[in-house]
Amino acid sequence: MYAPPVLTCTSDRFEGRAVATIIVLVFFVAILHNNAEQPSFIPSFPLPQRSSGRRYPTLKERMALSEVSWQKSVQLRESMAVAHPSNPQIPLFPAQSLDAFGKYPYTLWDFFPPTWTCPHDVQRVGRLGDGGKWVCGMSIYESVPTPASWKGGVPAGGQDGVVIYSFGINGESSFEAEMLERIPSARIWGYDFSVNGWGKQIATMYEDRTFFKKVGIGKEDDTARSPPFYTLQTLMAMNNHTYMDILKIDVEGSEYKSFDSVMDFFTSAWRGNGDAVLPIGQIMIEIHVGNDQPGVNFNRFRKWWERLEAMGMRPTWMEVNLMALTIPHEKTDPRCTEYVLVNARDARSVLWKE
């Protein structure tokens, strides 16, 4: 008796592959025909600069959106402060209540959120926890070419390449080590009066791009001290710098007076139109408040912070340092916070080059 043929799994798979191949071919043909001049039967991808108006925002448009968001947070900061019964001396910690609106657990950091979104990638550099930093636009810095003049030896000063300053080494240099490894055009100037050099994380092969001095940063030059202290603007002049791409600073509360001096200097030296702009592309800073910082109350902090904002700096990232809170018998307030501020008004920054 004749028996009809039975389809096997192999033939099933063959037919399935044939159908899948046809679908893929149709899909790619549709993509090739999907342009402004010839409509397609499948939805178009949102490619940049399409005549239909559907495109990715430009860098300037993304920055403008961030500026709107930041401006809104500034307005909320003002309304929150005015509504507080203790304004302008709002307690830093613990969280206070606002009688007019019920209980709101505001601390100092709630008034200064990172509302200016970095329009590039944001990457963690260095070790996890204390010592590592967040960087706005890390891939942009990585793309900066190494100056051709360095083939004859890396200079100890001058403006070429990516200029990085680091204050507060304390034997931990994982951030600097990774920046040197990933950014061939980077040179780093480090300063710390409490240690004798960089941490062991920096490989020997990168030592020609690092420059360390055992000095401190202060509100004025004081060479009578041992080790001596200098202002940031003096150290920049020593290195023949008029601009730095990145400033990393952790100086245990000295940030207020040292930045007061920096802002005073560059405000008086400003020759542009409008308000002065800091010659710094990006700042990674640990800010300290609380009982360890006498005189730093809400009013003092706000004036200092808003002066930085007026000179172009915008908060784009924050990380509360919880180390002291998690160590038994240590402080109980979140008095140390890491901020990343980018200079949105900085015409020299490689971050804003399209």
Say if residue 164 is in the same domain as residue 135. yes
Is residue 322 included in any domain, yes or no? yes
Distance, C-alpha 187 to centroid of its chain: 18
Say if residue 204 is in the same domain as residue 245. yes
Is residue 127 included in any domain, yes or no? yes
Is residue 108 included in any domain, yes or no? yes
Say if residue 290 is in the same domain as residue 144. yes
Q: Report whether 189 contacts 164 (CB < 8 A).
A: yes
Q: Does the global pTM surpass 0.75?
A: yes
Say if residue 205 is in the same domain as residue 341. yes
Q: Report whether 106 contacts 311 (CB < 8 A).
A: no
Task: Tell me what the mean pLDDT of segment 66-76 comes to.
Answer: 97
> Rounded to whole angstroms, how far apart are CA atoms 42 and 31?
8
Say if residue 176 is in the same domain as residue 292. yes
Which of the listed residues 56, 76, 96 is the one where a domain comes to its end?
A: 56
Structure-block tokens of residue 352: 């804003």
* pLDDT tens-digit readout, 229-242: 999 999 999 999 99
Say if residue 124 is in the same domain as residue 49. no
Say if residue 73 is in the same domain as residue 99. yes
Which of the listed residues 56, 84, 102 is the one where a domain comes to its end?
A: 56
Give me the number of domains the chain comprises. 2
- Return the pLDDT at 281: 98
* pLDDT tens-digit readout, 110-154: 999 999 999 999 999 999 988 899 999 999 999 999 999 999 999
* pLDDT tens-digit readout, 225-272: 999 999 999 999 999 999 999 999 998 888 999 999 999 999 999 988
* pLDDT tens-digit readout, 83-106: 888 899 888 886 555 555 455 667
Is residue 62 included in any domain, yes or no? no
Say if residue 136 is in the same domain as residue 246. yes
Is residue 268 included in any domain, yes or no? yes
* pLDDT tens-digit readout, 10-32: 344 445 555 455 554 544 444 44
Distances from the Cα of 159 to the Cα of 188, 191, 195, 248, 290, angstroms: 12, 18, 27, 18, 38
Range of the domain at 288: 67-352
Say if residue 280 is in the same domain as residue 141. yes
- Residues forming beta bridges with residue 3, ordered by sequence position: none
Say if residue 17 is in the same domain as residue 144. no
Is residue 61 included in any domain, yes or no? no
Is residue 90 included in any domain, yes or no? yes
Is residue 22 included in any domain, yes or no? yes
Closest CA relative to residue 279, chosen from 246, 316, 238: 246
The mean of the pLDDT values for the chain is: 85
Distance, C-alpha 208 to centroid of its chain: 26
Say if residue 284 is in the same domain as residue 345. yes
Say if residue 5 is in the same domain as residue 128. no
pLDDT at 43 over 80: no
